[in-house]
Structure 1
Amino acid sequence: MIDLTRLNGHRLILNCDLIRFAEPAPDTTITLVTGEKLIVRESCDELIARMLAWRGSVLRTAWPDAASALFAKTDDLAHKHAHAHPKHDSDC
């Protein structure tokens, strides 16, 4: 669940699993899977950040050991990739 603000200043708690898409024109308009539309003060970037933070907290709660295992695997893959594909000065 994410905490958002309606245009009138009232607080709104939204289950972000129900979001179909969001549009930033001119205020952030959220369309739910039901077709209902909500307009909020937060920008689309802020909406995405809150959704990612919420999803991350859910995953960390459900699988507390997964984060360290995932980071270890990611670091290992990055290390292998760096040695297999050395960076050149022209690379970004």
Structure 2
Amino acid sequence: MIKLVGLDSKEYILNADHIEKVEEIPESVITLTNGKKYLVKESNDEIVKKVIEYKRKIYAGP
């Protein structure tokens, strides 16, 4: 799960395992595998970094 900030400045948590694609136009648009789209303030690079950090925590174990 990764923390993101929507365009309304509200913070929410998104399941990174359901991300299908990320586009930047100029805000970032995250499309999930179920077709839902989320507009967020973070850049594509920031989103990728958060997903990598999340995956490292999961696979590193306790």
- TM-score, reference length from structure 1: 0.66
Q: Which runs of 5+ in 1 are unaligned?
A: 65-92
The answer on 1:37 being equivalent to 2:45 is: no
* 1:50 alignment partner AA: K
Aligned length: 62
Structure-2 separation of matches of 1:14 and 1:35: 14
The separation in 2 between residues aligned to 1:53 and 1:33, in whole angstroms, is 21
Query: Which residue in 1 is equivalent to 2:55?
Result: 55
Q: Hey, what does 1:4 align to over in structure 2?
A: 4
Shift of 1:26: 1.4
Task: Specify which structure has the bigger relative contact order, considering alpha-carbon pairs within 8 angstroms and separated by 6 or more residues.
Answer: 2
Identity of paired residues, percent?
A: 35
Letter in 1 for 2:34: T
Question: Corresponding residue for 1:17?
Answer: 17
- Structure with greater helix share of residues: 1
> How far 1:12 moved relative to its partner?
1.1
Normalising by the residue count of structure 2, what TM-score does the alignment of the two structures yield? 0.96
Q: Secondary structure at the match of 2:13?
A: strand
- Structure with the largest fraction of strand: 2
SS at structure 2 position matched to 1:57? helix
**Partner SS state of residue 3, structure 2:** strand
Question: What secondary structure sits across from 1:56 in the alignment?
Answer: helix
